[in-house]
Each structure stands twice: as C-alpha cells, then as structure tokens.
Amino acid sequence: MPQPPPNLPTVKVSPRGATRLNNGHFWVYRSDIVTTDGVPPGSVVTVTDHRGKPLGSALYSSSSQIAIRMISREPVPDFPALLRLRVADAIAYREPIVRDTDAYRLIFSEADFLPGLIVDRYRDILSLQILTQAWDSDPLRQTLISELTTRLNPDSIVERVDPRVRELENLPARASGLLHGSKTATIFNMNGVQFHYDALEGQKTGAFLDQRENYAAAAQYAHGEALDVFCYQGAFALHLAPRCSHVTAIDSSRPALEVADQNATLNHREIEWIEANAFDLLKDYAASGQQYDTIVLDPPAFAKSKRDLDAAMRGYKELNLRALKMLRPGGILMTCSCSYHVSQLNFLEMLASAALDAHKTVRILELRGQSRDHPILLNVPETAYLKCVIAHVSN
C-alpha cells in the first residue's frame, strides 16, 4: 500500500466521505471526517480512508462545513509548485475558448483544481478572491502573485475581501486592497462594448463575467423596445442597444446605475435607467399594460440554500409571468437564474407553468449556462450554477 508523505498532517474520512471522493467529487463535509488530530487550520493534508489508505491531498478548513477540498489524487509534497502548474494550466485552458474580451475568469476554484481561489482578469488588473483558510497564507499569496505577474504582467493585482467568507472561515478581518502595483481603475472591453472598472467597488469582483457569452447571444435576438430587469452596470442593456429602438433598464442599486450611465456615455448609447424595486415596477408596468419586444430577467440568486427553494421558485415565477404577459407577439424573453439550488429542470418547469398562466406559447431558442471561462467540472455539480433560457414568445 502506498504510504502518505510523512511531512503532511493526515485527515481520516468516513467510508461515506471516501465513497464521495472515489465518485470524483472534491469535497468531504465535516460530518464525514473521522479524525483531524492536531491538524492546523488551512493546512495541506493527506486524506486517508478509515483504514489509513491514502486517497490524495486536500486543503483543510477547521471551520467550514466543507472540511476537505481535494487538490490532487496524488501526494502533494510541494503545494506552491503545484499552484504554479495549475495557474499555467488555467491560462492554457482559456487560450482557445476566450474570444472578443479582455475581461474573463482566469481561475475558477474547483473547476481549475484550485479550490477556494478565484482570479478574474479585467484588462490590466487582476482581481483575486480567496474563499478558504488555506489561501490566507502569505507565502502562498506571494507564490500566486509572482506566478500571475510573470505570466500575465498585469498593472496591478487586487484582493477583494468578502467579510462574511472570512468570518465563516474563522479568519481575521482584512480589508480589500492592492497586492501588487497601484492601479485600481481601468476600462475593459467585452464583445466590443466598453465598461468602466473600479477594482475596489461593485458587486462580486466588479462584474458578472459569467454572463459574457450570454450578452452576445442576447444581442442576436434583441429587437424593438427592450427592458433589462436587474441591469446592474448595464451589460445586457448596452449589448441590446444597437439592435433596439429603445432600452429601459432597472436596478435597485443607485451606485450600479451611476456606473451604468457612465458606461452608456462611454459607448455613445442612450439608455433609460430606472432605480426601482423590480417586483414593484413590473407589477405597475403590467397593470398599466406596458408592452415590450425584448425582456431580460437576470435577478440575484433567490435560493442561497436548499431551504429557500420554494420561496425562490415563487419569486422566479412572479417575475417570469409578468415578463411573459408584457411581451408582444414574436417577443424575446431572456431569463436567467444563478442559484445553484435551482436546477435547469426546476427552472424550465417554472417557466412552463408561467407560460400556461400567461396564456402564451413559448418556444425555446437556446438553453445556455455560464461562459466557458467558468468551466463546469462534470463530477462536481456545484460548479454548474447559471441557467439562461432564450425563448420566443407568441400568443
């Protein structure tokens, strides 16, 4: 039997945890951990089954419900060396698939075999986010920064901190800030549309890069009068504008709409931005008989956990029902969900039920997901989260 490398601490998992790993998943939950005697938080560990047989190497979190995230099925005596290889692989993976953009996700956690690490590129600025204890080590951060600067030569690297993640991971509070260079603002280009980027502002790491290919798809079908609901900084609206006679876009966040308006100026587009609660506004619009030819619905994740699923489905149905009623014959609905807990089947069933209630005939033009720079790892279902349906709607 191969022996684990002697220098790494060992975490023993239950038969159920071992089965999960043998089925190709990357995670073991705390309830499936047998022993973690003296393992320091955030260590690289050797994982064994309950009999002591090595199953590979992982990052260990002492506080997350996901105690183990695998980094390799082999022993990993030198994690920084593996990190350098994985960064090179992530860059190479994207070379043939990322087109018409200088903003995209460079490293997507498990899907790039670097669990808990996200790196997004916005032209000459890299924005990184760490989601687990292991990445909080300074030497590891230094290795990552040196690898990213050597390979990509960015003007700067910024770390975006989600305070809730640090709390859950039992890490000391830390502010977002520069890790390399001094530049924090730039302009990036996606599908020929330009966007202002401020590395220390905005939601996520600044933009919703996972929708990039869907923006281009939406533009192909858009026509007439368009409504972009949950528009954030205006990405869908700006992609629809060249094809539409008028675009109205709604969001509840004033800071997002301020950037959206600057983006419209940057691209010489006229878009009507409305600060409102989308649920209230759609209700008013529907009541007053407002009609559109193209509607985009891209709400925030309604189901953050399985428990929220019923309420989430009611939210999606209300929005989609109103949108379907407001579409003129021949209209286009582009409807999205970024909740992992809502499956594609759940989402299509919701849409089917909304179509019946709205007395509309809906034909699916495209079933889409996240952009390919957010890879889906076949045996890790959690890596597939974005659903995007493009549909033709008639009476």
**343 counts as binding ligand SAH under rule CB under 6 A:** no
**236 counts as binding ligand SAH under rule CB under 6 A:** yes
**342 counts as binding ligand SAH under rule CB under 6 A:** no
Distance between CA atoms of residues 91 and 84, nearest Å: 11
Contact flags string 151-190 toward ligand SAH, x per CB under 6 A: ----------------------------------------
**304 counts as binding ligand SAH under rule CB under 6 A:** no
Q: Which helix (H) or strand (E) holds 320?
A: helix 309-326
Is 244 an annotated catalytic residue? no
Exactly one of 79, 108, 221, 230 binds ligand SAH (CB under 6 A); which one? 230
Exposed / middle / buried, residue 126 (Cβ in 10 Å: 0-12, 13-18, 19+): buried
Q: Please, what is the minimum distance in Å from the beta carbon of residue 2 to ligand SAH?
A: 47
Contact flags string 116-155 toward ligand SAH, x per CB under 6 A: ----------------------------------------
Phi-psi region of 113 (alpha: psi -120 to 50; beta: other; left: phi over 0): left
Is the CB of 130 or the CB of 240 nearer to ligand SAH?
A: 240
Exactly one of 28, 190, 199, 231 binds ligand SAH (CB under 6 A); which one? 231
Where do the DSSP E strands lie in the chain? 10-13, 27-29, 33-35, 44-48, 54-60, 66-72, 103-108, 117-122, 125-130, 156-159, 177-180, 185-190, 193-198, 225-229, 246-251, 272-275, 292-297, 327-337, 361-368, 387-394
Q: Which helix (H) or strand (E) holds 314?
A: helix 309-326
Q: Please, what is the minimum distance in Å from the beta carbon of residue 227 to ligand SAH?
A: 12
Q: Looking at residue 111, what DSSP letter applies?
A: G
Q: Please, what is the minimum distance in Å from the beta carbon of residue 114 to ligand SAH?
A: 25
| Contact residues for ligand SAH, defined by CB under 6 A | 208, 211, 230-233, 235-236, 250-253, 256, 277-279, 298-300
